[in-house]
Amino acid sequence: MPTPESRRPTPQRLLDAAEKLMRTTGLAGATTKAIAREAGCSEAALYKYFTNKEELFVRVLTERSPSAAALMRELTPGAGEGRSVEEHLTDIARYASEFYADGMPMAGSLFAAPALLERHRAGIRQLGKGPHVILYALADCLREDRERGRIRADADPDAAAALLLGACFQRAFFLHFSGPEVVTPVDEFAPSVARTVWVAVS
């Protein structure tokens, strides 16, 4: 028989519940009340560990998406050392494609609920998070490459980052909206888009 201690909510149990609901009902349907119920605790107990639902979403994305940790490692300062810029961009494109493909179904339901979307924006802002963080991090990597002479002095890191990540995001959209048969496999797509961006900045 479970003890009171074993029934006590933990951050991991709450993340498990949040991930399950966000993946099955979407972010709009995964209310804090539903997450707490799935975890077997009260809403008040959930708020002992997490600021808001947006923090749960960010944690699910960054900790439970298979490619998230690898993507963030590739976007840290100096991550491209020992590889060519094109090789580094290829790895970023691969992980970003997988990350966007994994997260898009969870977030998609928000766009049908403008009030929830605005609340989500505010919550993410409060946490200092958001999809722009990845864009800025990649632009900073490319800026570092420019300072080290690894890309052209007149290359635009912000535009190059937007081109690469925009292509990865579009692939994820086509994957879910039109089906896998219309997208290039990620192992072909990643080096191709990376090479295109590399040619533009080299």
pLDDT value for 84: 97
27 and 77 part of one domain: no
pLDDT value for 7: 58
Placement of tokens 């925009």 in the chain: 166
Question: Helices (DSSP H) in 3-156: which residue ranges?
Answer: 4-7, 11-29, 32-39, 43-49, 53-64, 68-74, 85-108, 114-127, 132-147
Find all residues with CB under 8 Å of 188, minimum gap 6, and list them: none
HSE at residue 6, side-chain half, CA atoms within 13 A, is 3
Tell me which residue range forms the domain holding 9: 1-60
20: domain CATH number is 1.10.10.60
Rounded to an integer, what distance in angstroms lies between the CA atom of residue 142 and that of residue 151? 8
CA quadruple 187, 192, 106, 122: dihedral sign: positive
98 and 167 part of one domain: yes
Task: Write out the chain's pLDDT in tens, 202 residues.
Answer: 344 444 577 899 999 999 999 999 888 888 999 999 999 999 999 999 998 888 999 899 888 888 999 999 999 999 999 999 999 999 999 999 999 999 998 888 888 888 888 888 888 888 888 889 999 999 999 999 999 999 999 999 999 999 999 999 999 999 999 999 999 999 999 999 999 999 999 9
172 and 186 part of one domain: yes
Rounded to an integer, what distance in angstroms lies between the CA atom of residue 190 and that of residue 31? 35
Domain count, the chain: 2
What pTM was computed for the model?
A: 0.87
